[in-house]
């Protein structure tokens, strides 16, 4: 079980627009591919559908069942995709993104010290 707090989860939920049941613009196939490539996990395994079958619900189940390291790796990848799709974020989005990077750093056990998160 990851150590994500309720507030931290909300930051990611808002950035990834998960209230719709989707996660960013992923299809089922590309979402499965992300998890296979990033952490060698089958996100469509039945152990991730206890909250429901949408991508957002599966991601929440992943948060609830996996280690900080695995969750951190997936969230880092999702943040990279978000950043690519949002090259000029507004101030609120930028603030949330920076908070999210710090959360990922914590999950991965890396020091955010100077704010340079390129090696996260």
Q: What is the pLDDT of residues 21-71, one digit of tens each?
A: 999 999 999 999 999 999 999 999 999 999 999 999 999 999 999 999 999
**Diameter over CA atoms, the chain:** 41
pTM of model > 0.85: yes
111: Cβ–Cβ under 8 A, 6 or more apart, which residues?
Answer: 105
Does the pLDDT of residue 79 top 70, yes or no?
yes
For the chain, give the percent of residues with pLDDT over 70: 92
Mean pLDDT over 105-110 rounds to 95
63 by DSSP, 3-state: which? helix
In contact, 97 and 16? CB cutoff 8 Å: no
Tell me phi and psi for residue 76, to 5 degrees.
-60, -45
In contact, 16 and 10? CB cutoff 8 Å: no
27: Cα within 13 Å, side-chain hemisphere? 2
> Residue 110: pLDDT band by 50, 70, 90 thresholds?
confident
State residue 116's pLDDT score: 47
Mean pLDDT over 6-32 rounds to 97
Does the pLDDT of residue 119 top 70, yes or no?
no
């Amino acid at each position: 079980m990851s150590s994500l707090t309720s507030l931290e989860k909300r930051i990611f939920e808002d950035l990834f627009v998960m209230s719709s049941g989707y996660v960013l613009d992923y299809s089922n196939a590309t979402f499965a591919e992300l998890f296979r490539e990033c952490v060698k996990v089958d996100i469509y395994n039945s152990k991730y559908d206890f909250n429901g079958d949408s991508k957002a619900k599966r991601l929440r189940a992943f948060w609830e069942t996996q280690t900080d390291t695995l969750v951190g790796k997936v969230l880092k990848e999702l943040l990279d995709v978000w950043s690519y799709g949002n090259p000029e974020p507004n101030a609120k989005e930028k603030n949330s993104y920076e908070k999210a990077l710090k959360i990922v750093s914590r999950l991965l056990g890396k020091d955010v010290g100077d704010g340079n998160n390129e090696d996260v």
